[in-house]
Structures are given as structure tokens and as C-alpha cells.
Structure 1
Amino acid sequence: MDDTPTVEVSGTPKPDPQNTANNASNEVEMGGTQETPNPQSKPTEKSEQTATATEDIILIDAQNEPEPPTPAKKSGGFKFLDFLTAPIVEIYVGQGEKQTKMTAHQTLLLDSPFLSEFVDKLDSSSERRIDLPDEDVEAFGCFLQFGYTRDYTFSEPDTPASSEEPEGATDKSGEELLRHARIYTLAEKLGLPALKSLAHTKIHRVDSTPRGELSYARYVYTHTSREDTTIRRPVASYWAARGHLLRHDVQEAWESICLEVPEFTTDVLRILMDWKEKAGPEQAESTPRVRKRLRA
């Protein structure tokens, strides 16, 4: 019966002075790895504060580093919810029988400095309507498509003639070049560099005929400024390099544009003379000398 106390499991054992001392020493030695308070924790807190301060300094320095180029407004952090919560604006494009009513979210229109001026004049209590009688209906529709999708495509009519043309076929009439060119000039007016760049890229993917290229050249030189060398320079270079061969297919149209659009003629001649000058003196000396006037 005297052995009964030694069999107790649920009770708390009586403290032993020697064991208590040993346990205390063990607890002190293992205090660094336990969650119990440790007398040596003060240096640890200082080190943690130092580490935190170092991290803060690193974050501050990172903010001073040059940021990457900001992406296009609609392709980056734009939230589509901004469209869904924006009011709808009615836009009447064109005039007469060709006038077309279009609708768009106001948020999309604010991307354009030109259209933003119209939006600022809208009264919330009246009809939200914008009239653009001088704009091309198809080009403006492509602008709206670009605003929502960052790309645009042409809707082809369901006719036998159009269905017979395979994809990537030669643009015989030059109409495809003109359609992209209209979007280019519209993007310039609306103040949308991204749309201008996209239209210019699509222009260079079109394979056209001499007549189509000449119609495109006339449009470019009558609807863009002299300073817009981005679109004018390739046109002039094209005709400077191939005009001596292509003009035979479009002789009458070639003579007409040279007389009616002097800026086009001047650019082509300037490029030809630059090429001649860069060829060197040897080629210049090989050119036969001729008199400006015949002898009497």
C-alpha cells in the first residue's frame, strides 16, 4: 500500500529541489528556441529593428529608381468596370444619307483630347450627343473598336466579288490602303499615337498595284502635314525607287499627281538627288555632260 503514490499519473509531482535547479538551468540554455520570455531577448529586438530599418531604406531607394515606360492607358491597369459604370454617349458621324448613329461609353472618349472637349460641354440634364459630320463613318467605327479591343478590323460586305478574293490578295484598287490611311489621319486628329502606329503598321502589310499606290500617295500628301515624315517619307521613297518603272502603267495619273501635288514631286526629286550625291564622284563623272542650251 505504500507504493500507491508512486503510481499516480494525473496528479502533479512534488517538486524536487535538485530537479528544479536542473530544469531551470536547462530552460535558460534552451530559451533562444522557445516562445517563453528570455532575458537575452533585448539584443534580438534591436537586431530586428535594425533589419526593419534596413528594409525600409531599401524600399525607399527602390522608389527612386527609374520606372519602366508607362503602357498604353487601356492596355495596362485599366479596369473594364470603368466602361460599365460610365454613361453612354450618342455620336452621329457623317452627314446626309451616310450619317450613322454610334454609341460609346464616355470613358473611352476621354482618351482623345479632341473628343474630351465635346464631352466637357455635355450637360447631364440634356441629351448626351456629339455630332461629327466631317468624319469618315468606317474610320470612326474602327476607332471605337480599337478603344475597346486595342485592335481594329474591316467588315467586308457579303458579296460574291469580295468572297472570291483570297486572304492576303493584292489590293488592286488601292482601297485597302486608303481605309488604313483614313484611320491614320483620324488618329492624328483625335490625338491617339497608339492608333496611328497601328494603322501605319497595317499599311505596310498591304500589297497593292501601281494605281493603288498612287491613289494612296495622293491621299497622304493632301491629308497630312509636311512635318509628318513618318508616313510621307516611305511614300516618296517608294516612288523614287520604282517610279521609273511603275509610271508606265499609270502614266496619266502619274503626270497628274506630279502637277497637282508639288510637295510629292519635290520629295521624290530630293530623294533621287540625295541618292545620286551619295553614289560618289565616280558615278557623277561617268554621267555624260550636256549643255543647258543648244548652240545657235
Structure 2
Amino acid sequence: MADTIEGVDVEVAADEEMGDATGLEPTEAVAAEDEATGLEDIEPEVLERTTFLDYLRSPIVQLIVGQGAEQTVLSAHQGLLTQSPWFAAQVEGAGATRSINLANDDLQATSSVLEYLYKSDYFPPMTGSQSMDYDTTVPQPDNEGVGLLRHARVYSLAQRFGLPALASMAHRKITLTQSTAHGEIAYARFVYKETSADDTTIRKPVAHFWATRSHVLRHEAEAEFKRMCLEFPQFGYDVLSLVLDQQEKRSQRAEAASSGNALGRKRQRISGVVPGG
């Protein structure tokens, strides 16, 4: 028992020393340790991530595309569809019906928009930054501009629906699509008819294409080129402006070269010797 008592004495002494060191009685020291500091209420911030499953759990929205016998009903998950500000506003206005009317829109282009929302690409898919899959559904040679118009329609819808990344992708696919003079005219007609006058992203390359190649291509589709200029005077003006700009730059370079030669030419020295002197 003596040993036990001594052990108790040692523990008590240790407790007393602890109290003395902190300036608190032993019971007060324990209470201080248990006192809330506020830090225990702070939890690490966990960023919420929307998963693909979340999209699939969202309600179904019906898109009524086309009119009459050509009318088709497409379905899409609201979570994916409302990535577009335009569709988000339409869904909010539709209420419980969850139905959006796209009577004047192209079915294939609308389908490509939905494919992009689900897969971040649309057919034919990109295989690199400067390449895409070959589209076997486009006739060769493509005199109707089928390939160009397919992507142009997607571009137009992407601009309208507020999907800039899709518009950029569609424009990239346009630059990778082969066509003919007739196909290029069909494409130019769509661009100048369906896009706004200040959309230089798609209009300027069209005008530049014809400004730099019209001396060759207009002979392949001269009648269509003439009709295009008469139907869309802005197209003719844009092409002419670029042609004149190029001509002016060539003239300036020629003048600079001529002036440089004149300044660089050594003047004939006049001898101080008088002939016959």
C-alpha cells in the first residue's frame, strides 16, 4: 500500500505542478483545454461539381423542329440544353410544358447543336486542331456546297443560341472543308443572307476568298458570281474593297521600290576639268 500511496502522491504532485505552471488550478486547466476555440466549426471548402449523371437526371425538354410534314420532335435533357442562354430563357418561359418551337430551323443543324451539347463535338468530329474526319455523305465534287452549308448552319445557330465555343468549332470546320466555285457561291449566299453585317468572323473570309481568287473562280461560275453581286451588293462591295486594297498595296510597294532605286543611284560626278583646258 505504501507504493500505491506514493504513486498517488507523485500524480497529485504532478497535477499541482501543472496547475502552478499555467497559473490555473488543475480543474481550471482541464476546463481551458475543453473550451471552444471556434476553429472546430470551420470545415474545408468542397467545390461542387456538376456530373454528367446530374445532367441525365434533369427533366426532358421537347424541341419541335420544322413545319408540316417535315416537323420532327427532338428530346434533350434540360441540364445540358440550358448551357445555352437562349435555351435557358426559353425553358423558363415554357413553364410546365417543357416544349420549345423551332419551326424555322434546320433539323440537321439543330441535331448537330444537341450532339455538341452532349459530346462537345459534332459529326464529322475533329481529329486534331487542323483536321477532321472525312464526311462520306458529302458529294464529290461538292458543287452544291453541302459540306460548307452544313457547318455554316451550325455556326448560325450557335451564334443565336449563345454558344461561342460551338461557333468557333463550326467556323474551323468550314475552313477545313473542300468545295468548288459553285459550292463557294452557295456558301457565300447563305452567309450574306443569314448572318449580321457586323459578323466579320465569317463574312470577311468569304470576301477575301473571292477577292484573291475571283480572277480564276469567276470563270467557273461567272453567272452565279454575277447574280451574287447583284443580289447582295454588300458582297460585291466587300470583294471590290479588298481587291482595291491589294492593288493599292502593290502600287505602294512599287513606288517605294522605285523611290529607293532613285535615292540609291549615284549621281554622276562633275569633273572640275574644263574640256579643252
Q: Same fold (TM over 0.5)?
A: yes
Q: Counterpart of 1:111?
A: 83
Q: Counterpart of 2:54?
A: 82
Contact 1:93/1:101, CA 8 A, preserved across alignment? yes
Q: CA RMSD in A?
A: 3.6
Mapping for residues 1-296 of structure 1, pairs under 5 Å:
78-124=50-96, 127-153=97-123, 170-281=141-252, 283=254
Deviations 1:188-215 (A, max 9, x none): 1101101100100100111100000111
Deviations 1:8-29 (A, max 9, x none): xxxxxxxxxxxxxxxxxxxxxx
CA distance in 1, matches of 2:74, 2:107: 9
CA distance in 2, matches of 1:167, 1:225: 27
Distance 1:106 1:252, change over 3 A: same
* CA deviation after TM superposition for structure 1 residue 78, in Å: 4.1
Any runs of at least 4 consecutive aligned residues in structure 1 with deviations exceeding 3 A, and if so which? 164-170, 280-285
CA distance in 1, matches of 2:136, 2:77: 36
Distance 1:143 1:283, change over 3 A: same
CA distance in 2, matches of 1:268, 1:123: 47
CA distance in 2, matches of 1:284, 1:245: 27
Distance 1:211 1:283, change over 3 A: same
* CA deviation after TM superposition for structure 1 residue 187, in Å: 0.5
CA distance in 2, matches of 1:166, 1:178: 13
Contact 2:144/2:183, CA 8 A, preserved across alignment? yes
Contact 1:169/1:207, CA 8 A, preserved across alignment? no
Identity %: 44
Report the TM-score when normalising by structure 1: 0.64
Unaligned runs of 5+ in 2: 1-48, 126-134, 257-277
